[in-house]
Structure 1
């Protein structure tokens, strides 16, 4: 009986299939990377906008209830002249509200603070609002 010599290694078809599987995997990752990057940028801008709105609300809340005037507390303007906050604009409106949180003409001891922060996202203006209530103590 003659023994056939067995060759060790990969066949050409196995190598081609392995390369194809690897290529499909790499291309999938490369395709989704720009989307992840864009989503990360959107999330970052939105987080900064919430931070800037919260900063303004805390500034207002540091004042006494009576010194907070009703109306447009802050007109829409750039948050900073330069730096990382320069692309953002902010405005703040303050109004009286009643016990059911509806706008009211009279002061019943409750004011609503609406701070809106604007920024540009791919050529269109985006915004986020932060609504807070402050009461007379």
Structure 2
């Protein structure tokens, strides 16, 4: 899992790199879909399960992929998105329940808001409430196969 300082250092490098260059076992970047809050929540649920099963990690929402130049990369997340509601939705839609923590990062004099979802590893395996399980392996979320 990355702390705010580490993530801010990575973001400063996005003038010359794409976000994907920094994705790893414990870090992913996702663009926010401004036309579908439900799609964003479903993505958070999916990545909470993936990261929890893969040892924990951070997902930064509001960052465009495969784009260089910090002005093009930092798309942001709407200011009216309620962190408590996001935590509640992830909790309700994971089994066993995952309680992510969210942190806000602000750029350009607080005109751009990014959300960092941190997920701790506790007692995998985790699934969505519909039974889907993935696990983080490198930069990917792959189907989880419980070998016990």
Higher RCO by CA contacts (8 Å cutoff, separation 6 or greater): 2
Considering only CA atoms, is the larger Rg found in Structure 1 or Structure 2?
A: 1
The TM-score bracket by the shorter chain reads under 0.3
More strand by share: 1
* TM-score normalized by the length of structure 1: 0.27
More helix by share: 1
* TM-score normalized by the length of structure 2: 0.26
